Chains A and B, each alone.
Chain A
Amino acid sequence: MVTPGISPQEPRRVTGADGMIDPVTGEQRVIAPGHTFRSVTEKLSRIVLTPHTPVGWFLGLGLAGSVAILLLVAVTWLFLKGTGIWGITIPVAWGFAIINFVWWIGIGHAGTLISAILLLFKQKWRNSINRFAEAMTLFAVVCAAMYPVIHTGRPWLAIYWLFPYPNTMNYWPQFRSPLMWDVFAVSTYATISVVFWYIGMIPDLGTMRDRAKSKFARFVYGNMALGWRGSTRHWMRYETASLLLAGLATPLVLSVHTVISFDFAVAIMPGWHTTIFPPYFVAGAIYSGFAMVLTLAIPIRKFYHLEDLITLRHLDNCGKVMLATGFIVAYGYSTDIAYAWYSADKWEFFMAWNRIFGPMGWSYWILIVSNILIPLTTLWSRKLRQNVVFLFILSLIVNTGMWFERFVIVVVSLTRDYLPGSWGTYKATRWDYMTFIGTLGLFTFLFFLFIRLLPMIPMSEIRQILPGAKINEAELQQRGGH
């Protein structure tokens, strides 16, 4: 993920006359040259504090909001009628709801990876994209967490077996079930993501408070900034807290998709009961999450003219992460088949055959083409990784492919298990589609609100990587007098 440093003696890599190679160190810059503390502050706070909201934003928000209404309608009808309106049957009792749950939460994982794991690895390029990647995590978790809850049919009655609290029935949850583990994994993930995101935003909220012109904005941002004044003592504790949160979020994000894979792997269904599931699920999550980061970052940088802060290097690096995690996913697919063969278990063998050549085999080929064939052959090329239009299309392909991966795991495995007498099929109803499309609308709606109301690129972290932030050691020695 690190672009290797080039010493000044070596021939420079030519990437055009855009000044992206630092002439002194020979390293590729993270952000375009020419920015100062003030220009960064102005450019990024103006997006939020401008009195002139772009018309495109209203259009986008309106469109996303109308799509989100589908979700409202679908969920209302669901609560009135029950889960019978969905396509779920026996044997396929887990349909779209669980596919979408796993898909959404997987998308969220890239945000945590960027904000936590890349912070621990001191990857400075993450600074431009971490805030909106974390926002993406939050909104994806909102969409994801909704599914298992509405899948219970009557969530207001589900609370007593989901959360351990003293109730009048003297009933307590059953902690030996992976579904209970999921409740704690996902609720912890949502909480820690909110805390990490909010704490990361406090210094920037201080900037917004100090730069806002309107009284209302000053009041709101002033309250949200909690009185942040940039004291060095505060900053040092703040940095420690950020590091600790990153160190905690890293094992957390790995555990969340691991626990989700336990929902499957602990069951004895052919195709589910494998030990490869945890790493394979985590890699798939990061793969689809980075695809979603690209889906969001590419239009945003274009629309808000942020090409100098979200540079080609960022897109290039996202492409590299996708290449690496894509190969882990490909390894997972091949292990699935190898396991079916090596187990010498005819049920496992039949499951693999059914996935590839069965009546729903088309879904398997969609995922092979869109998760492996297209991305893993093209992402090797630096030219293509820096081609914005190509990357955008590719990110949509990978997101589709990853949705079908979950379709194959959830639905295709369930349609045909041990006894042919209990085989069945699955057909999603319009309510399934409406709920899914509705959450896409909700996610986009929340994201539109976020980019308009909060600073989407962390100003304080961008300032740290500006050349002006370097302490001049020579001057310090000379004037400091030691």
Chain B
Amino acid sequence: MPVQEGIYGLLAEFDTPTELVIAAQASYQAGYRRMDCYTPYPVEEAAEAMGFDEPAEKGVSRVCLLGGILGGLAMFTLESWISIWAYPLNIAGRGKWSWPAFVVPAYEWTILWAGLSAGFGMLALNRLPAPYHPLFNAPNFRNGATSDKFFLCLEAHDPKFSIAETRALLESFNPVSVVEVEH
């Protein structure tokens, strides 16, 4: 990523989730799209307010489904290959490809890879781990975003963004503070 300089966005701080949702809704209606809310616990209404619909995005679920199918198939194929070609054994006279016995490990691997894909897929879609983020430069962000404050950030690369107008819009929601976030 090229080194970015200048302002990342304007960050408004609120005391309650309701105020945050109102502000997010109004900003969305005013035409802002490049924005995000930061909350100490998941606030679904905030996602709705800024038009982010995770179920419609389907990222995590698709990765999870794909991982599960691949994991199950991989184990079942491995077991079949071992039992038919690589190391055939006669166990109590059963056929070489006695597949019902192979279902259990394949089932476990379906869950294993679906779970790993869901977990790591979620992190990847969220672009985490990300040790650095401009928001951590804001003086009040780390004091509240993971504890008891609610933040709305309107980002500078939104076409509608202009420091004076955006600040005026954010001020109209009666936030605790509005600060500029530097890169």
Same complex? yes
Give A residues with C-beta under 8 Å from B.
Answer: 36-38, 41, 164, 170-178, 180-181, 184-185, 187-188, 191-192, 195-196, 198-199, 203, 206-207, 209-211, 222-223, 226-241, 244-245, 248-249, 251-252, 255, 259, 262, 459-461, 463-464, 468-469, 471-472, 475-476, 479-481
Q: Do the beta carbons of A460 and B38 come within 8 Å of each other?
A: no
| Chain A nearest CB, measured from B120 CB (Å) | 8
Give the residue among B37, B44, B60, B68 with the most A Cβ atoms within 10 A: B60
B25's closest neighbor in chain A, by CB? A480
Cross-interface CB contact of B82 among A172, A181, A228, A244, cutoff 8 Å: A172
B59's closest neighbor in chain A, by CB? A237
Scan residues 96-130 of chain B and give those whose CB is less than 8 A from a CB of chain A: 98, 101-102, 104-105, 107-109, 111-112, 114-116, 118-119, 121-123, 125-126, 128-130
List, in ascending order, chain A residues with CB within 8 A of B50's CB: 232
Q: Do the beta carbons of B121 and A252 come within 8 Å of each other?
A: no
A37's closest neighbor in chain B, by CB? B148
Q: Do the beta carbons of B47 and A192 come within 8 Å of each other?
A: no
Instruction: Report how far A188 CA is from B112 CA in the complex, Å.
Output: 5
Q: Do the beta carbons of B18 and A240 come within 8 Å of each other?
A: no
Instruction: Report how far A234 CA is from B94 CA in the complex, Å.
Output: 51
Q: A37-B148, A175-B102, A211-B147 are in contact. Are A252 and B41 (CB under 8 A)?
A: no
Q: Do the beta carbons of A199 and B119 come within 8 Å of each other?
A: yes
Q: Do the beta carbons of A249 and B131 come within 8 Å of each other?
A: no
Cross-interface CB contact of A184 among B41, B42, B87, B104, cutoff 8 Å: B104
Give B residues with C-beta under 8 Å from A.
Answer: 16-18, 21-22, 25-26, 36-47, 50, 52, 54-55, 57, 59-61, 64, 68, 75, 78-79, 82-83, 86-87, 89, 91, 94, 98, 101-102, 104-105, 107-109, 111-112, 114-116, 118-119, 121-123, 125-126, 128-133, 135-136, 141-143, 145-148
Q: Do the beta carbons of A188 and B111 come within 8 Å of each other?
A: yes
Q: Do the beta carbons of B111 and A464 come within 8 Å of each other?
A: no
Instruction: Report how far A210 CA is from B22 CA in the complex, Å.
Output: 27
Cross-interface CB contact of B55 among A223, A240, A249, A481, cutoff 8 Å: A240
A250's closest neighbor in chain B, by CB? B111
List, in ascending order, chain A residues with CB within 8 A of B43's CB: 232, 235, 469, 471
List, in ascending order, chain A residues with CB within 8 A of B143's CB: 210
List, in ascending order, chain A residues with CB within 8 A of B46's CB: 232
Instruction: Report how far A249 CA is from B119 CA in the complex, Å.
Output: 12
Query: Which 8 pairs, one residue from A and one from B, show the smallest C-beta to C-beta distance?
Result: A37-B148, A241-B122, A226-B129, A236-B54, A227-B130, A172-B87, A235-B42, A232-B37
Cross-interface CB contact of A231 among B36, B68, B83, B105, cutoff 8 Å: B36
Instruction: Report how far A207 CA is from B123 CA in the complex, Å.
Output: 18
List, in ascending order, chain B residues with CB within 8 A of A181's CB: 104-105, 108
Q: Do the beta carbons of B115 and A237 come within 8 Å of each other?
A: no
B173's closest neighbor in chain A, by CB? A479
Q: Is the interface of A mostly helix, strand, loop or mixed?
A: helix
List, in ascending order, chain A residues with CB within 8 A of B26's CB: 480-481
Q: Do the beta carbons of A210 and B40 come within 8 Å of each other?
A: no
Q: A37-B147, A240-B122, A252-B111 are in contact. Are A479 and B136 (CB under 8 A)?
A: no
Q: Do the beta carbons of B60 and A463 come within 8 Å of each other?
A: no
Q: Do the beta carbons of B42 and A471 come within 8 Å of each other?
A: no
List, in ascending order, chain A residues with CB within 8 A of B60's CB: 237, 240-241, 244
List, in ascending order, chain B residues with CB within 8 A of A175's CB: 79, 82-83, 101-102, 105
Q: Do the beta carbons of B52 and A236 come within 8 Å of each other?
A: yes
Q: A244-B64, A471-B18 are in contact. Are A236 and B41 (CB under 8 A)?
A: no
| Chain B nearest CB, measured from A459 CB (Å) | 8
Instruction: Report how far A223 CA is from B129 CA in the complex, Å.
Output: 9
| Chain A nearest CB, measured from B25 CB (Å) | 5
Q: A229-B145, A479-B22 are in contact. Are A255 and B41 (CB under 8 A)?
A: no
Give the residue among A38, A173, A222, A241 with the most B Cβ atoms within 10 A: A241
A266's closest neighbor in chain B, by CB? B101
B152's closest neighbor in chain A, by CB? A232
25 contacts between A and B (CB under 8 A): A175-B102, A184-B108, A188-B109, A226-B129, A227-B131, A227-B133, A229-B133, A230-B146, A232-B38, A232-B39, A232-B43, A232-B50, A237-B126, A241-B121, A241-B122, A255-B104, A259-B108, A460-B40, A469-B41, A471-B21, A471-B43, A476-B18, A476-B21, A476-B25, A480-B22
Give the residue among A164, A185, A251 with the most B Cβ atoms within 10 A: A164
- A-B contacts besides A226-B128, A479-B22, 11 pairs, CB < 8 Å: A164-B82, A175-B102, A176-B83, A195-B116, A199-B119, A207-B146, A226-B123, A227-B129, A248-B115, A475-B22, A480-B25
